Amino acid sequence: MNLQLLTKSNLHTHTRFADGKHTAEEVVLSAIENGMDVLGFSEHSFHPHPDVYSMETPQIQEEYRKEIARLKHVYADRIKILCGIEQDSFCGVPTDVFDYVIGSVHYLYLGGEYCEIDLSAKDTLNAIQKHCGGDPMVYAKAYFEAVAKVEQDTQCDIVGHFDLLTKFDEKASIFDTSDPRYIKAGLEALDALLEKDVIFEVNTGAMSRGYRTTPYPAPIFLHRIAEKRGNVTLNSDAHNKDYLTYGFDKALQLLKASGIGSVLTMTSNGWKNIAI
């Protein structure tokens, strides 16, 4: 029953305006077909540093906004559509025209270079070698320090993929997440964000793309969120119209096992807290 309610909504969705596979309209039609009530788009904000996944120019960002506004109007009687943005912590683009903001750290600025966190295991290993003296814990500390500031840097409502740095770990084992230095850095970032009025997304994006079998954040962080009564929501970070609620069943089990008692979900009447 709870799962049914929670699969009515997803606020983390990408399209061809950036690195998603489908057009925004194709995604809307898929959401309607799957009986969803709310679909939020959260395209990657324009990033001044060229990369492979963000909207390429401020003009494209404006076209994105206009297209979602058009779809909102066209499909108003069938689904509630929201126009959000996934704002990278290095993007200073104004976000007040969007319905909500997901704040995400996709880069570390190390030794005068922007190092992409989730591009490939090879890139992460190179950055560790080149800028962190070969010590993954130095990299992890820098990552979590950036995450601790993500609300300040992006004024986000939702914190995106809290421990994204572990994206490749199931196959490449880059970070020893049981290392006390890793846990300390992660919990310090989490505690800083728990002081703010933010929602943590439980993000299944790397599961649908075959990188991971579990969502972000890891159970150790979910336990802390439960202890401190932080807010969580389920997001799929879908880059494909067929994965709008991918892995929500597994994420829900994990949340229950971590002691989390309720999940916020966006409904046609705004945020609702669902007991799980």
Is the separation of the CB atoms in 200 and 193 below 8 Å? Answer: yes
* CA atoms 14, 34, 270, 62: torsion sign: positive
Using the minimum distance from each CB to Zn ion, give the nearer residue, 151 or 237: 237
Q: What is the closest distance, in whole angstroms, from the C-beta atom of residue 238 to Zn ion in the complex?
A: 9
State which residue, 2 or 155, has the beta carbon closest to Zn ion.
Answer: 155
Min separation Cβ 164 and Zn ion, Å: 7
Instruction: Write down the least CB distance from residue 114 to Zn ion, Å.
Output: 15
DSSP state of 119: S
Question: Could you count the other beta carbons within 10 Å of the beta carbon of residue 5?
Answer: 15
What order of strands is seen across the sheet that includes strand 38-44? 9-10, 38-44, 80-88, 100-104, 158-159, 199-203, 231-235, 262-267, 270-275
Residue closer to Zn ion (CB basis): 14 or 131: 14
Q: Phi-psi region for residue 119, left (φ > 0), alpha (ψ -120 to 50) or beta?
A: alpha
Task: Tell the smallest beta-carbon distance from residue 118 to Zn ion (Å).
Answer: 7
Q: Which is nearer to Zn ion, 8 or 106 (CB)?
A: 106
The two tokens of residue 62 are: 């404006």
Q: Which is nearer to Zn ion, 120 or 268 (CB)?
A: 120
Give the whole-angstrom CA distance, residue 156 versus residue 91: 12
Burial class (CB in 10 A: 0-12, 13-18, 19+), 100: middle
Residue 70 Cβ vs Zn ion, minimum distance, rounded to whole Å: 22
CB of residue 275 vs Zn ion: minimum separation in angstroms?
28
Residues that bind Zn ion (CB under 5 A): 86, 104, 237
- The first and second tokens of residue 127, run together, are 């950055």
Q: Which is nearer to Zn ion, 155 or 262 (CB)?
A: 155
